[in-house]
Structure 1
Amino acid sequence: MTPEFLKQHIQRNNSNNSIHSNQHTTTNYNNDNDSSRLSASLTSATTPPLTQAHNASLYMTRNDANSIGGYTPPESPAPPATPPPPRTPTLNAHVRSRILGEAALAQMPKATPTPPSTAGDIIGSVLGDFGIWQLRSVLILFLCKLPASWFMACIIYTAPEIKPPTQYHCDAAELTANQSVTANQCYVVNWSASVASNGTSTGAMLSQQPCTQFVYEDNFYSFIMQYNLVCLREIFVAWTQYWHLFGVLVGGVIGTKAMLKLSPRTVYIIGAVLQIILGVVTGYSTDLTMHCIFRCLAAIGCAMMFTSAQAIFVDITGGRYRTGVIILYDTFWSLGVILLPGISSFFNNWSQLYLGITFPTVILLFLLQWTPESPRWLLKNGNEHDVYRVERMIRKAVDINERTFLIPDDFRQQIEKLRETLRSQKPPATWLQLWRGPRAKHYMLAAHVALACYIVNYMGMLLNLRSFGRDYRVPNTIAMGVAEIVGCFIALHFAMKQGKKKFVYAGCFNIVAGLIGCLGWTFTHANLNPDFKVILWMIIALVPKVSVSCAQSLMQGCMAEVMPAHKKQPFAFSVVTFARIWLLSAPFINLLKKTDVALSLTFFAVLTVIGGISTCLLQPPRQKNTANLTLSEALGSDEANKKERSPLTATVWTVEGDTNNTRL
């Protein structure tokens, strides 16, 4: 064995041992110092030729081979390699360093198996804007709109309009020989001479007095029959509806204020229980005064339910989905209107109908096990145990949404941090502060007038179905419900596709629809078939109904965009409460039908036009392009650079990591 052969054999064994040891050595990286890790990966080393022959691939560079073995000969320290040129322009790096600071750039979160801890909303980040859990919860909460619509619109079926003398007439059993009844069956006339069998008398009329006893000829025992609400007492039908709307007004205020101390889910349960109990009592009340009182209290329960339900689904959704859910909230109200004719067909007594629209609320109590609580309300107003409740609820929800991989290791700590953030938030603005600020008075007046017109129109046109006659109730009610649903989806389109122009589109839509609604006078005295005339009236009424439903849903979902964050909630509360105050006039507007059916339709059409004009005024002003101004401030340039410049000479911002993706 020659000395040359022994020398080569020893050198080969040493190189194999170094490769074997390098393959079993774990490289420890310091996550807290990425600069050393980066410099180590970019350090050039001299690898023995034999090692390169055995271990280096054709597709590996010298640094790649070194990163596998980690071998550095002790006799020659490796010179530092030249770092690769930055992928971002010098200007972009300079601006970022001036804005963020080098210390902030060095402390950016590192990549970890779990999402990094952020100071933002941990509930929204792990739960997502919308998922299967939110969909299930929203659908359950939407169901409270069904009994709310039934209690409001049931007057169409519990008190259908009846006409003399075919459906009722004054009881003439106790009339004397010199007394007769007027043609409208409302008065008893006293004559100086006896009355003939045909109702005429040769004597002079001495006096007349209202008829107090009536005979009804109808298969359905209505609310009107129970309390004799005909002739002069017909106004009490509108009076009972007034008390229901007053209950909605009071219930909305009570529900909102109660949620300062009670959780939204608790308010929801209280409203449901009140509605069930008081709905039954209302149906069996024998006195008109007690009926009005209990109907008002039942409406308070309805308002507490849909007010707290909205607070819950607004809290568990986010982004564009939250806006869409608020806009589509009224679709279940319209669905209830569509279902009301079918429910009423099973009963021939108004008291039984009240039971029929009351007991479905019991189903909502069984669904409480899937009805969520407002997580952020619990964190802000609850105790330590509520933090555990929120964590458990969010973990279950995230599991249903299949997003468990987003839950960080410090999830509980981040929830507690969110709790501290919510408790340290700026308090909501007062009502007087809503009027202060740029264009604040403009937005306040426009929003209050617009929503007041829409809500009065929305409820009033539905109640106005009684003026078209009881024979057309079913198709007209269904048509109104379908029109409301169509309007909600048009509002959703405006909100999602039209951006800042959505209020202008909705306002112009209502102006045109209101002008169409005024066309009812063109054929009100025309000699047309009665059925055809009702069809024309309904077509003219449906166009404003669609536009009003669109604008009302759009405003409820988007009107707070014109206000700062701390003014959004009191602004919405003020606008809705003001609109519900004016809603109290809707039942009495329908009394204009006594003069002419077209008169009440025209009144609602004028309200539609006024609301459309006010909605157009909600358009936010155009904002100047301040991108160049902001860039000049970041670079510390002089005042001359802050002037408006042409987009062709504007600085180009480059997205880091993709030099081809640029924007002005």
Structure 2
Amino acid sequence: MTSLSGRCIVRTSVLHISHENLVDSKREEAFDLVRRYGDTPRPYQSPKKVDKRLRALESRRLIAPTVSRLPVHAEVNGKQVLNGKEDVGENADEEVDAVQEAIGNLGRWQIYVCLAISLVKFPIAWHQLAIVFMAPHQDYNCTSPAGVQTPDHCAANVSGVLADCTKWEYDRSTFTETIISQWNLVCSRTHYANIQQSVLMFGVLLGNIIFGNLADRYGRKMPLMVSVILQLASGIGCAVVPWFPALLLMKFFSALATGGTMVTSYVICMEIVGTQWRAAITVLYQIPFSLGHMSLAGLAFLFRHWRHLQIAITLPSVILLSYWYIVPESPRWLLAFGKQRAACKILQKGANINKIKNKDIPEMVRQHCLHQNSKRSHLDHKASFLDLFRTPNMRIKSLSIFFNWIVCGMGLFGMSQYIGQVGGNIFVNFTVSGAIQIPGNFVAWWAMNKLGRKITLICSNSIAGIAGLLLVVVSNDIEWLRLILVCTAIVGMSVSFTTVYLFSGELFPTVVRNIGVGTSSMCARIGSISAPFVVSLVSYGLLMTLLCS
């Protein structure tokens, strides 16, 4: 609000749109829509000009039709005025957030729940990265037919006739049995191991979509429990199946469950903490994944047979069954679906643990529901995927973000898998690559707050790209330098992943934010699906690391 020379000057960033026009009645929403969709207004404009711009958005069906002249807040000689009338209702349009009012922004209850839910990140990391130890690079020799072998050990010269090999002997000095040695995934069958990892990443993609929809319809807790049980059952199935196609099927179901635990657990955490803590929780929530990354090397060191390792990364999910008693249903979901009594019960428990007293939680819940009902409009059902590309400004933003997510998915999982081919001790290399991601998470937090999202994203991508390019020219004999470069690229990609996640949520307008972030996550899975095949190009001498730039 600004007063200049005694005249009424209206600032568009404090427009207040009526409930019939926008879902979000906050004062910044109108300006946000105008700015985000490419019609950026000047700092100060008259209500008539802003009204004209908003009606242009109506014609594109980006906001609901106006039914009355826009009420505009202005400041005249230091007083709040609404269309020429003083705004005497100071809290008339103030949103009542019953969850934050009842339990606070961050207390002991939220910390307990978030810590418990963070345990799910361990099996998420184990199942997504286990291919490094289940299908590592393994030397082999052709044993049948006997003869002079070709350099690739895929054929043998028998009496002047070149015959394909049918049996191989594998180097079992590091791993007693792998997926590769179990089903002879070498020579013409090499790509089958990559297919297994791509099937897993595709399952994660579908799991995000399926369990995300189930979480919106049936609550957060029940889909989380279903995904935990499915992860446990399918993980054990992977360890006992006798056929490779059956393994692919079990891996697919395991990936569905992994995708389900990812999306539901994160949503529960975000919906119980205050808005000012969500960025911090998002960053800290990545630390258990890094710890899972590190611990996977220890498990693989103890269990050198891939079936034993599969059981070792699956059985800890039994502990997650305790979520039925520990993890509450999201109070925000309960309020959104009118289950006020259940929401009050959970909020009262949280308030007691956080030692927040003298709060009339039932009354706060009633006021919250009344406020939310007053904000409902038919706009809730009009946002679509096409809105992400409806204007030039949104097209540029959407395509740029989507491409960044593809690069993050391909770079992070591709480099994590490639570290098994760097040379040296695979267990040490993998542990180091996971350990350095932990300080990387704190660097991401500091950089986003100090430098901003955009600069942090550019710098992290550039660091990962430069490290990837240097891998092309560094000799394979300098193993320590190649390990440093791979770890640097992994840290850069992890910082980029964290940054682009938060940046996407802030960049997309409110009305299409869920669609935008959901589509972005799908793009990351597309990158991770292609990562195993990109890594396999190194065997052909191609510049795999170029894709990280």
TM-score bin, normalised by smaller chain: 0.7 to 0.9
Return closer, same or farther for 1:430/1:593 CA change in 2, 3 Å cut-off.
same
Q: Please point out which of 488, 496, 507 is paired with 1:551.
A: 496
Q: Which amino acid aligns with 1:189?
A: N
After superposition, give the CA deviation of every residue in 1:209-265 in whole Å (9 maximum; x if it has no partner). 233354664462222221112333222211211111111111111122222322111
Partner of 1:145: 121
- Secondary structure at the counterpart of residue 515 of structure 2: helix
1:155 counterpart = 2:131: yes
User: Once the 2 structures are TM-superposed, how far is the Cα of residue 131 of structure 1 from its aligned partner?
Assistant: 1.5
Q: Which amino acid aligns with 1:475?
A: V
Partner of 1:327: 283
| Aligned-partner Cα distance in 2 for 1:534–1:513 | 18
Q: Is the 8 A contact 1:171 1:213 kept in 2?
A: yes
- Secondary structure at the counterpart of residue 380 of structure 2: coil
More displaced stretch, 574-583 vs 441-450: 574-583
1:124 counterpart = 2:78: no
More displaced stretch, 458-467 vs 410-419: 410-419
1:280 counterpart = 2:233: no
User: Once the 2 structures are TM-superposed, how far is the Cα of residue 97 of structure 1 from its aligned partner?
Assistant: 5.3
Q: Please point out which of 443, 449, 452 is paired with 1:490.
A: 443
Partner of 2:334: 378
Partner of 2:518: 573
Return closer, same or farther for 1:421/1:546 CA change in 2, 3 Å cut-off.
farther
Matches within 5 A, 1:248-327: 248-327=204-283
After superposition, give the CA deviation of every residue in 1:620-656 in whole Å (9 maximum; x if it has no partner). xxxxxxxxxxxxxxxxxxxxxxxxxxxxxxxxxxxxx
Q: Where does the alignment leave 5 or more consecutive residues of structure 1 unmatched?
A: 1-90, 110-115, 192-204, 609-664
| Aligned-partner Cα distance in 2 for 1:409–1:465 | 54
| Aligned-partner Cα distance in 1 for 2:467–2:248 | 36
Q: Which amino acid aligns with 1:246?
A: F
Partner of 1:435: 389
Q: Is the 8 A contact 2:102 2:348 kept in 1?
A: no
Partner of 2:40: none
More displaced stretch, 572-581 vs 212-221: 212-221
Return closer, same or farther for 1:408/1:332 CA change in 2, 3 Å cut-off.
closer
| Aligned-partner Cα distance in 2 for 1:378–1:421 | 18
User: Once the 2 structures are TM-superposed, how far is the Cα of residue 273 of structure 1 from its aligned partner?
Assistant: 0.6
| Aligned-partner Cα distance in 2 for 1:293–1:583 | 19
Partner of 1:603: 546
- Secondary structure at the counterpart of residue 216 of structure 2: coil
Partner of 2:60: none
Q: Is the 8 A contact 1:159 1:237 kept in 2?
A: yes
Return closer, same or farther for 1:247/1:513 CA change in 2, 3 Å cut-off.
closer
More displaced stretch, 547-556 vs 181-190: 181-190
Q: Where does the alignment leave 5 or more consecutive residues of structure 2 unmatched?
A: 1-73
Q: Is the 8 A contact 2:456 2:499 kept in 1?
A: no
Q: Is the 8 A contact 1:494 1:505 kept in 2?
A: yes
| Aligned-partner Cα distance in 2 for 1:408–1:260 | 24
- Secondary structure at the counterpart of residue 149 of structure 1: helix
Q: Please point out which of 345, 350, 355 is paired with 2:301.
A: 345
Return closer, same or farther for 1:226/1:555 CA change in 2, 3 Å cut-off.
same
User: Once the 2 structures are TM-superposed, how far is the Cα of residue 160 of structure 1 from its aligned partner?
Assistant: 2.5
Q: Which amino acid aligns with 1:398?
A: A
1:505 counterpart = 2:456: yes
Partner of 1:368: 324
Q: Which amino acid aligns with 1:144?
A: V
| Aligned-partner Cα distance in 1 for 2:76–2:155 | 92
1:449 counterpart = 2:403: yes
| Aligned-partner Cα distance in 2 for 1:340–1:239 | 22
Instruction: Give RMSD over aligned pairs.
Output: 2.7
More displaced stretch, 396-405 vs 242-251: 396-405
Q: Is the 8 A contact 2:272 2:330 kept in 1?
A: yes
Greater Rg by CA: 1
Partner of 1:61: none
TM-score (norm 1): 0.67
Q: Please point out which of 114, 131, 142 is paired with 1:170.
A: 142
Q: Is the 8 A contact 1:265 1:372 kept in 2?
A: yes
Q: Please point out which of 386, 390, 393 is paired with 2:346.
A: 393
Q: Please point out which of 188, 192, 211 is paired with 2:156.
A: 188
Return closer, same or farther for 1:476/1:217 CA change in 2, 3 Å cut-off.
closer
- Secondary structure at the counterpart of residue 585 of structure 1: helix
- Secondary structure at the counterpart of residue 436 of structure 2: helix
Return closer, same or farther for 1:346/1:436 CA change in 2, 3 Å cut-off.
same
More displaced stretch, 396-405 vs 276-285: 396-405
After superposition, give the CA deviation of every residue in 1:28-65 in whole Å (9 maximum; x if it has no partner). xxxxxxxxxxxxxxxxxxxxxxxxxxxxxxxxxxxxxx
Q: Which amino acid aligns with 1:170?
A: C
After superposition, give the CA deviation of every residue in 1:450-488 in whole Å (9 maximum; x if it has no partner). 11111110111001122124x521111112112322332
- Secondary structure at the counterpart of residue 244 of structure 1: helix
User: Once the 2 structures are TM-superposed, how far is the Cα of residue 93 of structure 1 from its aligned partner?
Assistant: 8.1
Return closer, same or farther for 1:118/1:406 CA change in 2, 3 Å cut-off.
farther
1:537 counterpart = 2:482: yes
After superposition, give the CA deviation of every residue in 1:162-217 in whole Å (9 maximum; x if it has no partner). 113xxxx3335x75xxx4444543223221xxxxxxxxxxxxx2332233354664
Partner of 1:19: none
Partner of 1:480: 433
User: Once the 2 structures are TM-superposed, how far is the Cα of residue 513 of structure 1 from its aligned partner?
Assistant: 4.1
| Aligned-partner Cα distance in 2 for 1:159–1:247 | 19
- Secondary structure at the counterpart of residue 189 of structure 1: strand
Q: Which amino acid aligns with 2:453?
A: K
Matches within 5 A, 1:3-22: none
Q: Please point out which of 147, 162, 166 is paired with 1:207.
A: 162
Partner of 2:81: 98
Q: Which amino acid aligns with 1:312?
A: I
| Aligned-partner Cα distance in 2 for 1:497–1:506 | 13
After superposition, give the CA deviation of every residue in 1:541-600 in whole Å (9 maximum; x if it has no partner). 22222221111101112322122211111110111112212321100011122134x833
| Percent identity (aligned) | 23
Return closer, same or farther for 1:94/1:433 CA change in 2, 3 Å cut-off.
same
Q: Please point out which of 571, 574, 587 is paired with 2:532.
A: 587
Partner of 1:517: 468
After superposition, give the CA deviation of every residue in 1:48-93 in whole Å (9 maximum; x if it has no partner). xxxxxxxxxxxxxxxxxxxxxxxxxxxxxxxxxxxxxxxxxxx988
Return closer, same or farther for 1:404/1:419 CA change in 2, 3 Å cut-off.
farther
Q: Is the 8 A contact 1:327 1:557 kept in 2?
A: no
- Secondary structure at the counterpart of residue 160 of structure 1: coil
Q: Is the 8 A contact 1:189 1:208 kept in 2?
A: yes
Q: Which amino acid aligns with 1:473?
A: I
After superposition, give the CA deviation of every residue in 1:506-543 in whole Å (9 maximum; x if it has no partner). 30342244224322343327xxxx4xx11111111222
- Secondary structure at the counterpart of residue 551 of structure 1: helix
Partner of 2:509: 564
Q: Is the 8 A contact 2:344 2:361 kept in 1?
A: no
- Secondary structure at the counterpart of residue 98 of structure 1: strand
Q: Is the 8 A contact 1:323 1:558 kept in 2?
A: no
| Aligned-partner Cα distance in 1 for 2:345–2:76 | 44
| Aligned-partner Cα distance in 2 for 1:422–1:296 | 41
- Secondary structure at the counterpart of residue 373 of structure 1: coil
- Secondary structure at the counterpart of residue 157 of structure 1: helix
Q: Is the 8 A contact 1:517 1:540 kept in 2?
A: yes
User: Once the 2 structures are TM-superposed, how far is the Cα of residue 287 of structure 1 from its aligned partner?
Assistant: 0.6
Q: Which amino acid aligns with 1:329?
A: Y
| Aligned-partner Cα distance in 2 for 1:461–1:238 | 14
Equivalenced residues, count: 474
Q: Please point out which of 239, 246, 250 is paired with 2:195.
A: 239
Q: Please point out which of 312, 322, 328 is paired with 1:356.
A: 312
Return closer, same or farther for 1:98/1:468 CA change in 2, 3 Å cut-off.
closer
The structure showing larger relative contact order (alpha-carbon pairs under 8 Å, at least 6 residues apart) is 2
